[in-house]
Amino acid sequence: MDIYFRVLHIKWDYEEILFYLQLFCISLIWNIVYFSKISLLYVINVVTNFINYNYLPSIQEGLPSYEWSLFYSDLKELKDHSRFSNIIPAHNISCLPNVTSDFLQWFVGFSDAESSKK
Amino acid sequence: MQNPQKNNTSLKFTFRVVLHIDDRDVLEYIQKTLGVGTIHTSDACVTFAVQRFEDIVQVIIPIFDTFPLQTTKVLDYKDWRTAAMIKFQGPLSKDSLAKILLLKAGMNQNRKSFDSYCNHTIEINALWLLGFVEGEATFGIKHLAPYFSIAQKANSARVLYAIEAFLRKIPLGFTLTKNSQYPIGSFSLRETTAVISCSWSNIDSLHDYILPGARARGASPRCGPRARVSLVVYHSFHGKK
C-alpha cells in the first residue's frame, strides 16, 4: 500500500496497522473470554449473529434493541427458503399457471384446518 | 352435495371455508389468488365458497390431488372427489346417483369409519404446517408464560404426532440462547370431547425455533401477530426487552 502514517515518529504502512489492529482485537476478545468465563463459541456466536443481522432496517432506524430488530426481519427471511429441506418443488397446475406452489401448500394446510366439502 | 331427490334440482358441489368476519382479508386473498369462488358475509361469519362445477373440477380438485390433505379430512375429500368425478363423466343414472348419495351419507359428521386413514401417508412440510397453524393452532399465555398448541379430534392424532416430530427437526433460527432446548410437544387427551392436543411451552424453544420458523415461511395474516404478542408479553413480564 502507498499510504503511510507517522505515529510516534515510526513509519507504519497500512497493512502493518491492520496487523496490529487484528492483534488488539484478538487479545480483547481473549481477555473478555478469559475474565468473564464465557465460552469462546458463545462469543463467536454473538459476533456472527451481529454480522448476520447488522443490515436490518430496524437497527438502521435506531429501534430500541437487537431483539426487537428480529421482529422486523420478515422480509429478508421470507427469501431464505434454504432453511427448510423438505419443501415440495413447484408443481404446475395447468389452470393456475401464476399461483406458486408455496401458496398452494399453505392453502391445503389451511383447508385441512378450516374447509368443508359438501 | 345437495340431494337432487329432495328438491328436484341438479347435484351441487361446494367447497367452502368459513371464518370469523375479522379474517375476511384472508379469504379475499385466497379468492383473488385462485381466481375462483365467491365471498359472502352473514352475521359474524364470512364464507368463501366455490360452487361452479367447472371451478371445482379444474381448480379445487387438481390442487388437492397435487398437494394431499393430511388430516382425516382427506377421507371426506376422496369421497367428495369420487362423487364429483361420477357427475363429471356424464348424465347421472339411477345407480350413479345412488352411489353419490351413499358417499354423501358417510361424509363429514356422518363418518363412522376412519380405518382407511391408517393407510394414508402423512407428509408434513413447513408451508402446509403454516396453513394448518393458521386454522387450528392457539398462541396463548397461561400463568404468565406463552404456549403454542394444536388440537385435533382423536382420530386425527397421527397428524399431531407427525407435526410434533417435524417441529423437533426444524433448524435453530435464533442462536444467541445457550443450550436452547429443541421443541418437544406434550400431548393431552380430553376424553369427554375426544380431542387430543399437543402443546409447546418451553420459552427458549418457542423463541429460538418455532417463531423464527414461522417468520421464515411468511407467517401470517392471523397467527403471526398472535405469536409475537405472546412472546412480547412474556418478555415484558420477565424483564427482557
Nearest to A108 among B14, B16, B63 (CB): B63
pLDDT at residue B212 tops 80: no
The region that residue B175 occupies, defined by phi over 0 for left and psi between -120 and 50 for alpha, beta otherwise, is alpha
pLDDT at residue B47 tops 90: yes
pLDDT band at A32 (very low <50, low <70, confident <90, very high): confident
Q: Which residues of B touch A73 (CB under 8 A)?
A: 215
Q: At residue A14, what is the residue type?
A: Y
Q: What percent of chain B has pLDDT over 70?
A: 81
- Give the best residue of B48, B108, B128, B231 to mutate against chain A (max A CB count within 10 A): B128
pLDDT at residue B188 tops 80: yes
Nearest to B76 among A77, A101, A117 (CB): A117
Q: Which of A22-36, B45-59, B129-143 has the highest mean pLDDT?
A: B45-59
pLDDT in tens, B31-44: 988 889 999 998 88
Of B206, B213, B214, nearest to B147 (Cα)? B206
What are the φ/ψ torsions at residue B111 (nearest 5 degrees)?
-70, 130
| Distance, CA of B32 to chain centre | 20
Give me the mean pLDDT over the A87-94 stretch.
50
Contact B15 A65 (CB under 8 A): no
Q: What's the order of all strands across the beta sheet hosting B15-20?
A: A115-117, B15-20, B45-50, B38-42
Q: What percent of chain A has pLDDT over 70?
A: 39
pLDDT in tens, B139-180: 887 877 788 889 988 888 899 999 988 888 877 776 666 677
Q: Which residues of A touch B176 (CB under 8 A)?
A: 45-46, 49
pLDDT at residue A59 tops 80: no
Contact B16 A65 (CB under 8 A): no
Nearest to B175 among A49, A94, A112 (CB): A49
The region that residue A114 occupies, defined by phi over 0 for left and psi between -120 and 50 for alpha, beta otherwise, is alpha
Contact B215 A74 (CB under 8 A): yes
Q: Which residue has the higher pLDDT, A87 or B28?
A: B28
Q: What is the pLDDT of residue A68?
A: 40
Return all residues near A26 (Cβ < 8 A) that are at least 6 apart. none
Nearest CA distance, A55 vs chain B (angstrom): 16
Name the residue with cell 376422496: B78
Q: Which of A7-11, A95-99, B42-46 has the highest mean pLDDT?
A: B42-46
Contact A104 B67 (CB under 8 A): yes
Contact A113 B134 (CB under 8 A): yes
Lowest mean pLDDT among A12-26, B77-91, B99-113: A12-26
pTM for the full predicted model: 0.65
Asked casually if ipTM beats, i.e. exceeds, 0.85, the reply is no
Give me the mean pLDDT over the B13-19 stretch.
90
